[in-house]
Structure 1
Amino acid sequence: MNTISKQESNVKVRTLSMRDAIIEALSEEMERDPSTVLFGEDVGKFGGVFGATKGLHEKFGSRVFDTPIAETTIVAAALGMAITGNVRPIPELQFGDFVGVAFDEVFHKLGKWRWMHGGQMEIPVTLRLPVGIAGGAGPEHSQSPQALFMHGPGLQIVVPSTPYDAKGLLKTAIRENNPVLFFEHKVLYDMKGEVPEGEYLIPFGKADIKREGTDITIIATALQVHTALDAAKTLAKQGVEAEVIDPRTLAPLDMDTILQSVKKTGRVLIVHEEPKTGGSGAEIAARISEHALFDLLAPVKRIGSPDVPIAQSIYLEQFYRPSEQQILDVVSELMEF
């Protein structure tokens, strides 16, 4: 729970932005393993359009290089490198929306080739994907397509919400011998939090209880974890104690932690920036209904984005992203059951 575990309580910590935590993770893993390479659109001297690879080209030279704006080629090249057994690639797509351009390479080849070839190859690819609404980028540069790949067997899906989680999960991802889609919300790059100085890894499939509570379980991902925590503070003043859970990985998904919380609280709200229809919350809600129906005191509720393209207008886009007030309104409704 919280940022620093009990085991790390005696370790020195720094306050880092998520951007700096990601850079630190990349740097440490590239120092540790000379087979790692980092490449993508403007990740070299420019340091990435969001600054998340700044200084790595200067440090690692030709192991950090730019590519054309060609997502299919980027992912296909990563796959080719990985199956040689000699390279551990970390490709980045400048905007996660354009993973759709390389959908065949991700959904079919990264996810399935190891199985199709009888396990003769490993596919240690960590595909970094900036996502989310951020400053009027419009409908093709602001999406959160994580749930698309929950339908893709063989793919691991990571969605960090804090600098601590981003570093620990990214280091785990890079060491993985199976493909990982690492989704980074663009607004979170500037968010700061505590990060230990020493080496640490965060295992996949282990949710984090960001706040303990007894009255309702709020399951949230990425930026919405922080919206949920803000709402939980307001709810506490009203006498409602909300438990906030961040799954951290959607595949594998830690249902044990979620179901234990549901059994305790009896009420569930799932919040994410993905579209509500077919979002990751739909799968989580279905599993809760399958395994914890008789623990529920009220229907499982979801808050997601509306099923319309994201507005280009900075003013209008704020109405697309779930808000603290929406959470408060739905919790109030659930507490009446």
Structure 2
Amino acid sequence: MASISLPQLEEARRALDAPLFADLAGDARVSFEFFPPKTDKMDEQLWHAIETLVPLEPQFVSVTYGAGGSTRERTHATVSRIARETHIPAAAHLTCVEASKSEIEEIARAYWDAGVRHIVALRGDPPQAGQEFAPHPQGYASAADLVAGLKKIAPFEISVAAYPECHPSSPSVQADLDNLKAKIDAGADRAISQFFFSPEIYFRFRDRAAAAGIDAEIVPGILPVSNVATTRKFAGLCGAAIPAWMDRLFEGLDDHPSARQLIAATIAAEMCRRLYAGGVRHFHFYTLNRAELAFAICHLLGLRSAPRLAEIAA
């Protein structure tokens, strides 16, 4: 198990002895994930979220890619607009599913030409839920192969996925760690974890990864629970456990959205504070294209807006 430094012990003690969020240094870094909008109304909601969160000076913002490449054009349009109209680095998700190597090269070069320098490289989900992943006959067989291929196309910064509770299709925890190490060894710069609801899950995973020789940054992925039913669905797909106590906290709140938001922010913020006490300084938020919860949590972590640096072009 990784050793805990004296400053971390002091920080942990401070977190217990003082108000949890009193006078934090504001030294946390953040990044945000969005998905491409399907309608004009959703597009308006997305850009409201971006305008709200960009003043927090995120390290990057990423845009997801639908199963089987189903959102390819919308993902490209959204990422290109972020790169064009904001000063924040935009990262595009890219998967292996139903695409040949030549098709992926075409997509990657189009991103490079649009000024996008960061790719989130994923194996990807099959187009139909419940199907097994099958590589394209002329495509990449795994995320590690995709990382290696992208590095040959251009000097992209590359992030990959990590699963603190093990990927659902992985045969074992060790196999999952081996796969993560293969992605890092292929040239990935960092891993972004799937969401989880207990800081201990992240810390244990970080220690296992270090013991396996993985020395790249593993950024914890944070999902504030804005919709309980949606969160249950996501958790089932990615193998994340929802603690029974958390389920109980949301009981009876279906008709009380404001109370639900307050509780969601409280749970996620407290977990982030405990991660911070353990030395974490980069948090990646799955926003679901809504800014309020992520913005509130970032504020509690000591981050403040920088309006003069966050102009979005008309």
Q: TM-score under structure 2 normalisation?
A: 0.31
Asked which structure has the greater RCO (Cα within 8 Å, sep 6+), the reply is 2
Quick check: which one's strand share is greater? 1
